[in-house]
Chain A
Amino acid sequence: MLSEPFSYDYAPYQNRPKIVWPNGARLAFWVAPNIEFYEYAPPESPARSVWYRPEPDIINYSMRDYGNRVGFHRVADVMVRHGVRGSVSLNVAVCDHFPDIIERCCELDWELFSHGIYNTRYLYNMSEDQQREVIRDSRETIKRHSGQDLDGWLSPAISNGETTQDLLAEEGIKYTLDLFHDDQPMPVKVRSGKRLVSVPYMMETNDVPTLSFKHISPTAYLDIVKAHFDQLYEEGAESGTIMCVPLHPYLIGQPHRIAVLDEILGYITGHDDVWLATGREIAAWFEQNYYDAFVEWMKPFNRAAAKGPTA
């Protein structure tokens, strides 16, 4: 078992190369709706239990099914009203189960990236070849249903293997969302030396940990997201920051919560120096303009750092 992920180098949050986003923006804002499918009768996982009650766990299954029946369209309607595109964290089997959802995402010019096949099939304990098969299935499925290239990755249920980031780079993925170590994009260290960008996907502003795990009320969630934004917007003047709001239509798309999304998007888009971006646009801008500068700048901080097993 590894003692650390060995996926990134140390980088202090001061005196960093100055990131400037397109049109002089100081904050890149992106919204990641998770469009997920949790299986009614999933196979057992060697690493964790899948459901919470004896199967069929209909309360938990149907709670998530709400997102695809009801929540998705409500969330999409609010985002359209604010001119905000989504970068969809997609369990790609949704393409097969509910193609109408994918059709609307494409009409709205949303990006689709992979969040695995189902949210009930984890990468835990998979061989490298098995993980490659999941990545390739994702690439082919997204291409077939949307014509889009697969650029981004968030592991299903954030399940990682020790070499998952290496495999992503080798399979042509351009950015990963699995690392929560920073508020700016970062180069990811992978064994092939290929370029892989870590784009911040934020758990503090994610509706699952807040509304569901931590039992935070919608009003308090709104306050958290606004305060999170205010701080990052201020810091972005020094070097461009990122603000991500990861969403789950089964939670934020509920009648008692949807108005909070409306307020969040109204608040953030009401600021001048915000770039309304997608995950792949952020990754590409960083890769083209700042990747090398960050690698160079980080070297002095990592002379004594442990070498990864694959370095």
Chain B
Amino acid sequence: MSVPADYLVYPKRRSGPDHDRYGHRYLATAPAVAWPDGKHLLIWVTIHCEHFPMDMPKEPFVPIGGMDRPSPSVWDYSTRDYGNRVGIFRLMRVLDRHDLRATVAMNSKVAERYPYLLDEMLKRNWEIAASGVDMGRLHHGLLSKEEERAQVDEAFTTLRQLSGQPVIGWHSPAHSQSSHTPELAAGAGARYIADWINDDMPYRFETETGALVQMPLSYELSDRKILFLHNQCTDDYAAQITAAFDCLDAEAREKGGRILSLSVSPWVIGQPSRIAVFDRLLESFLSRDGVAGATGATICAAWENHDEQVGMEDE
């Protein structure tokens, strides 16, 4: 018994990562960031507004929240659609109460299907970020580049047209990219992507069509991971979000600006038993000194500014 000889050859065994997307950085020793207006911790609320087609493919994988039951899975479909009808309006009330603007990671299909919903978001001056066409059209390594380009372009074009916003953010549905996704997003005019979950702060991400900012959209702390995938109770969710806040708040005071990314789905956090907990968390965080809400676009701009200054100091 043996494995092929090249199984013991390691062509990327070198200093730094084993790909060329970014250089290595330790957050502990990264230059301190100063956020605008003297804030040290920014709360970035990202709301996933998604459409899960009842006939979405099961291959190459079913994303969290996808159709898990035999077809036609009316149960799954209508449970997700609940988010765009009911849950999102509960979230709006909560965010309005705290004067917070969200980033909406939106499937373009949602904007097409529910213009009223999009209008309510635009009235609030929420940021619209592109998040693919719908949850049946994931971005992954088995797609051809041309098929994928069409999906990326459709998402950006539709959302720009319907929202009138520049739409500079991209989140791949289910945090799933192909090796082309960053190039395609950059080519379609994205300034930031929010897919990789390897940092608590933004960093520069190289593509063949220009550099992007990779924003730290949390997956570990998302309601769909903790409450839906891991079936934990709301108290456990609140405890984890609070612990993250405490850790990042303390670190921010010592080491420079930090971001608390709250990644929420209206079909999860917008349930009657949960929404009040989210409200109380925001209430508690926003009452603290040096803490403010910010959208992805705002954070991205502040980060680019910081990165430019650090670059100039280096020269």
**Chain A: residues with CB nearer than 8 A to chain B?**
37, 39-41, 43, 45-46, 52-56, 58-59, 62-63, 65-66, 68-70, 72-74, 77, 93, 96-100, 117-118, 121, 124-127, 129-130, 133-134, 161, 215, 217-220, 254-260
Is B315's CB within 8 Å of the partner chain A?
no
Decide if A73 touches B200 in the complex (CB within 8 Å).
no
| A63-B198, A66-B198, A93-B13 known; A40-B3 Cβ under 8 A | no
- Inter-chain CA distance A173–B210, complex, in Å, is 49
Is B14's CB within 8 Å of the partner chain A?
yes
Looking at A39, A130, A255, the one whose CB has the most chain B CB atoms below 10 A away is: A255
On chain B, the residues within 8 Å of A43 by CB distance are 4, 6-7
- Inter-chain CA distance A72–B25, complex, in Å, is 12
Give A99's nearest chain B residue, CB to CB.
B15
Is B31's CB within 8 Å of the partner chain A?
no
Is B126's CB within 8 Å of the partner chain A?
no
Out of B27, B140, B179, B231, which one reaches A69, CB within 8 Å?
Answer: B27
Give B140's nearest chain A residue, CB to CB.
A54
- Inter-chain CA distance A2–B199, complex, in Å, is 43
Give A73's nearest chain B residue, CB to CB.
B28
Is B230's CB within 8 Å of the partner chain A?
yes
Decide if B198 touches A130 in the complex (CB within 8 Å).
no
Decide if B176 touches A133 in the complex (CB within 8 Å).
no
| A43-B7, A98-B24, A218-B239 known; A58-B175 Cβ under 8 A | yes
Decide if B197 touches A63 in the complex (CB within 8 Å).
yes
Interface-side segment among B117-125, B158-166, B241-249: B241-249
On chain A, the residues within 8 Å of B8 by CB distance are 121, 130, 133-134
Out of B19, B176, B200, B230, which one reaches A70, CB within 8 Å?
Answer: B200
**Chain B: residues with CB nearer than 8 A to chain A?**
1-4, 6-8, 10, 12-19, 24-29, 60-61, 140-142, 174-179, 195-200, 219-221, 229-232, 236, 239-241, 243-244, 246-248, 251
- Inter-chain CA distance A195–B153, complex, in Å, is 64
Give A74's nearest chain B residue, CB to CB.
B28
| A66-B199, A97-B17, A217-B232 known; A256-B221 Cβ under 8 A | yes
Decide if B27 touches A73 in the complex (CB within 8 Å).
yes
Out of B13, B175, B244, which one reaches A255, CB within 8 Å?
Answer: B244
On chain B, the residues within 8 Å of A121 by CB distance are 7-8, 10
Nearest first, the 3 A-B pairs at minimum CB distance are A73-B28, A54-B141, A215-B230
On chain A, the residues within 8 Å of B17 by CB distance are 40, 65, 97
Give A215's nearest chain B residue, CB to CB.
B230
On chain A, the residues within 8 Å of B140 by CB distance are 53-54
Decide if B244 touches A96 in the complex (CB within 8 Å).
no
- Inter-chain CA distance A77–B26, complex, in Å, is 14
| A96-B13, A254-B220, A256-B243 known; A130-B200 Cβ under 8 A | no
Decide if B200 touches A255 in the complex (CB within 8 Å).
yes
Decide if B246 touches A215 in the complex (CB within 8 Å).
no
Give A38's nearest chain B residue, CB to CB.
B18
- Inter-chain CA distance A129–B8, complex, in Å, is 11
- Inter-chain CA distance A117–B9, complex, in Å, is 10
On chain B, the residues within 8 Å of A37 by CB distance are 18
Give B27's nearest chain A residue, CB to CB.
A70
On chain A, the residues within 8 Å of B179 by CB distance are 56
Decide if A255 touches B248 in the complex (CB within 8 Å).
yes
On chain A, the residues within 8 Å of B174 by CB distance are 59
Min Cβ gap A305→B in Å is 27
Decide if B26 touches A73 in the complex (CB within 8 Å).
yes
- Inter-chain CA distance A256–B239, complex, in Å, is 8
Decide if A56 touches B2 in the complex (CB within 8 Å).
no
On chain A, the residues within 8 Å of B246 by CB distance are 259
Min Cβ gap A253→B in Å is 10
Decide if B236 touches A217 in the complex (CB within 8 Å).
yes
| A55-B141, A215-B231 known; A100-B26 Cβ under 8 A | yes
On chain B, the residues within 8 Å of A77 by CB distance are 28
- Inter-chain CA distance A53–B140, complex, in Å, is 8
